[in-house]
Amino acid sequence: MSETSQQLNVELRSAATTELPGLPLRPVGGAEAALAVTEDGPRLTVAIPETSRSEIRWIVDRLVRRLKGSLDYEGLNLAIGDEVDDDTAVALALDLHGRARGSLELEAKSAVVERVASLRPYEELFKSWVDEDPSTRTSLKIAEDVQALGEAHEHVEAEILAEEALRERGLNLLLAVGGGSEASPSRLCIARYNPPGSETKSPLMLLGKGVTFDTGGINVKPYESFVSMMKNDMAGSALAFALFKALIESDYPAPLALVLPTCENAIGSRAMRPGALVESYRGHIVRIDHTDAEGRLILADGLSYATDIIEPSQVICFATLTTSALVSYGPFATPVHFATGELKNRLERAGERCGEDLHFFPERIWHLEANRDREGDLRNTARLPGNASRGAGSRNAAHFLRHFTDRPLVHLDIFASTWNWSGEAPGAGYGATGAPLRSLLTALRD
């Protein structure tokens, strides 16, 4: 720590607090806060308002970010009052870990400290994959990490399918998307976890999109389409891997499967062409209407092949699938498609506990039929009829996947929530946010 830098002390109290020590600050979202100068350095005290946990996260993070421009500090000391509920305390502690310039010292109830410690390493793993340079975070590196996980854990078996094996099995959609890249070629990475003593035979399958960089293909992305950020298009695979690792390292009692179709959507002489007709593993003829709708293609082959050989009880899919998720629902929301029953209830409760906004949408036949094609069986750019043709991109893309499995499927379109598009994601700098890993891990593990 430099001679001029100092620790920032942050104290979080309930809204019932009557007085806050120090100079009152301009309120944010109705939250009262005060800044005091003490022997231990500046101290920010915040009275947490009574509102949704996602809003609390945003409010507290904005108050802390305000001080970054005026105070030179390295690291945070965070004290959370016992009257603050545990879920709020955990969410804010994880966020402020991300804001700490160096380190965070946490003073809170032991249950809060333990839960933060159980979540943080996997959130950091998830973010590190997404933020990594795409020249190193290739399909080959993803395959290497999946293989290493299998070798390190006695109850995990890993298998990597390269181009020849994919061609033999008929995963032509995955091969088509990755055909233009030598540095990050098509791979299907599968890991299976079978804990001893489990009476459950059919695993929960975690499926993640792994497009390591997305140029858009021959239908190249304009700059306005965030092409400079498209290293994040493998965030689905990063989320699935981090979640799988967290579950097996907490001795998850039931079988799991991890399935990561991965490649780069590059431009080149071997890149897939608009208008091409490609036969999928499941036998559907898919017309490539637009090469920048590639994520659903690799997921379709990975989903149909893996559900055939693994026979899962449930599939949960993660993908930065559509810009529509950001345009339609804003920078922090995660659309969740097809969730029903107890899994929907668990995800809904977990999202509320963690302060991550999950929005649920059911299966509907008109979105399913919007993916039909006159030339092929399906096309990779669904459109609703008439003046609705440009709407519902996230829902249409999710329903494309429904054509490729009869197994129970839940799909999370994480395009908006997993990257800090607004610059205001709680705890996040430029790049990955870590969302919605907390909610998923809470729903499945806790």
- Which residue range(s) make up the domain with 90? 6-108
Give the 3-state secondary structure of residue 421: coil
Question: Per the residue annotation, which of 137, 221, 407, 438 is the catalytic one?
Answer: 221
Flag whether pLDDT at 246 surpasses 80: yes
CATH number of residue 43's parent domain: 3.40.50
Q: Are residues 356 and 241 in the same domain?
A: yes
Q: Are residues 199 and 303 in the same domain?
A: yes
Q: What's residue 5's pLDDT? A: 60
pLDDT band at 1 (very low <50, low <70, confident <90, very high): very low
> Of the residues 108, 140, 165, which one is the last residue of a structural domain?
108
Find out whether 263 and 298 touch, Cβ atoms under 8 Å.
Answer: yes
Is the residue at 331 inside a domain?
A: yes
Question: Per the residue annotation, which of 120, 296, 353, 438 is the catalytic one?
Answer: 296
Is the residue at 432 inside a domain?
A: yes
Flag whether pLDDT at 15 surpasses 70: yes
Q: Are residues 429 and 311 in the same domain?
A: yes
Is the residue at 121 inside a domain?
A: no
Q: What's residue 217's pLDDT? A: 97
Going from the C-alpha of 327 to that of each of 71, 116, 391, 401, the distances in angstroms are 35, 32, 10, 21
| Residue 48 phi, psi (nearest 5) | -70, 125
Going from the C-alpha of 332 to that of each of 128, 157, 215, 265, 276, the distances in angstroms are 19, 35, 24, 26, 35
Q: What's residue 2's pLDDT? A: 46
CATH number of residue 243's parent domain: 3.40.630.10
Q: Are residues 188 and 310 in the same domain?
A: yes
| Residue 146 phi, psi (nearest 5) | -65, -45
Q: Are residues 282 and 364 in the same domain?
A: yes
Q: Specify the higher pLDDT residue, 415 or 446.
A: 415
Q: Are residues 204 and 241 in the same domain?
A: yes
Q: Are residues 68 and 133 in the same domain?
A: no
Is the residue at 117 inside a domain?
A: no
Mean pLDDT of 408-421: 98
Note if 221 is an active site residue. Answer: yes
Rg over alpha carbons for the chain, rounded to the nearest Å, is 23
Is the residue at 118 inside a domain?
A: no
Q: Are residues 321 and 416 in the same domain?
A: yes
| For residue 436, cis peptide bond before it (omega within 30 degrees of 0) | yes
Is the residue at 119 inside a domain?
A: no
Find out whether 267 and 442 touch, Cβ atoms under 8 Å.
Answer: no
Find out whether 31 and 8 touch, Cβ atoms under 8 Å.
Answer: no
Give the C-alpha separation, 96 to 89, whole Å. Answer: 11
Q: Are residues 217 and 366 in the same domain?
A: yes
Q: Are residues 349 and 400 in the same domain?
A: yes
> Of the residues 108, 141, 172, which one is the last residue of a structural domain?
108
Q: Are residues 237 and 161 in the same domain?
A: yes
Give the C-alpha separation, 155 to 254, whole Å. Answer: 11
Range with lowest mean pLDDT among 37-46, 234-243, 360-369, 406-415: 37-46
Domains: count for the chain: 2
Give the C-alpha separation, 219 to 227, whole Å. Answer: 12
Q: Are residues 212 and 321 in the same domain?
A: yes
Give the C-alpha separation, 332 to 415, whole Å. Answer: 10
Flag whether pLDDT at 420 surpasses 80: yes
Find out whether 305 and 186 touch, Cβ atoms under 8 Å.
Answer: no
Q: What's residue 100's pLDDT? A: 84
Flag whether pLDDT at 285 surpasses 90: yes
pLDDT band at 4 (very low <50, low <70, confident <90, very high): low
Is the residue at 113 inside a domain?
A: no
Range with lowest mean pLDDT among 3-17, 104-118, 289-303: 3-17
Q: What's residue 19's pLDDT? A: 84
Is the residue at 330 inside a domain?
A: yes
